[in-house]
A and B are shown apart, each in its own frame.
Chain A
């Protein structure tokens, strides 16, 4: 009985410890499923006014993905050390430009990158090398990578954000987006921003 009590106490204390630290407690076994919710991903509000403005955020501290001012957020989990991510960077830039140059889409679809295991300097190198205009966030301790199922990279997650603040994963897949325009079309259809066949 005493042993059982010790075990229960240990569990409670450990969970309390992690809650206080605001750390993800465990690694997810699977990546976020399409049709389901996104795990809680807390990111620091960018210091750069341009990035803050792009994401529609105010103040300081942290934010979660559904707080981004957009109908759809595309998250790329990448690493500066990943050759596929290096090859993919121009294609993702093409996607970003296709969105930003379309007045109907600008402001409605946002892209962010999360550098799995990357330090701020490593993320910054990736940004400068490939002239990436959308916000990139370092995930030094892999904590976000863990809650996203420790996916290989590059991994893309599309999240539809509803007006009532709820959200849904509409795309969750490993590997290249292949064709920026076709990918964008798919996102538009899955998010309901464009009806199929239109």
Chain B
């Protein structure tokens, strides 16, 4: 009987404890697509801390092209891959980063936001976020090329929710391929940027 009860216990536990909970802002009203709970991680990056960060050039919503290499020797870089525009957690991640420009400045860091969406979609989606101080880049075509290079392209063509911290020498110092259903806590990013400051 004990063995038979395990699935019942497990199902009840999941039903009672696991629930989708997004602190979604009213700013997007009902325009956010609800994908449900997704497989937390659906890729495996070969990149490791200590590796040189692969260079890339991508178009931004402001019209300029942005390359990772342009920051080498000048700024630490935080790359924030988010899976897709108009989805719950992503829509509540970058507005927080937008509020803490001074935190990035204190760490002499720039943030590069990347999704596999095209420029018009990214433009429309980020407009309600206000004046975004960091470059928002489109990895739309060739589809997900940069996400693939970084090993964070999921099997359905969107990227993982991932953070890469790259120092001024172009070396990867932190990788967080996060559970796609959850927002990475700011504490983790600040801790990693602090480490760069202390070195």
> Interface of A with B (CB < 8 Å)?
2-3, 6-7, 9-11, 13-14, 18, 23, 25-27, 79-87, 116-119, 121-122, 125-126, 129, 142, 145-146, 150, 152-155, 174-175
Contacts and interface: CB of A to CB of B under 8 A. Distances in A.
B168 to A, nearest CB: 25
A77 to B, nearest CB: 8
A10 B9 contact: yes
Given A6-B4, A121-B187, A153-B25, A83 B129 contact: yes
Given A81-B25, A81-B96, A85-B25, A10 B16 contact: no
Contacts of A121: 185-187, 190
Contact of B128 (A26, A83, A145, A154): A83
A120 to B, nearest CB: 8
B99 interface: yes
Contacts of A11: 12
Interface string B1-36: 100110011001100110111111111010000000
A81 B9 contact: no
Residue among B23, B25, B100 with the most chain A CB within 10 A? B23
A174 B93 CA distance: 21
A25 B17 CA distance: 7
Q: Secondary structure of the B side of the interface?
A: helix
B27 A2 contact: no
Contact of A86 (B99, B185, B190): B99
A11 B11 CA distance: 10
Contacts of B130: 83, 86-87
Contacts of A118: 23
B95 interface: yes
B108 interface: no
Given A25-B16, A142-B21, A10 B5 contact: yes
Contacts of A14: 9, 12-13, 16
A145 B26 CA distance: 14
Nearest to A116: B23
Contacts of B128: 83
B92 interface: yes
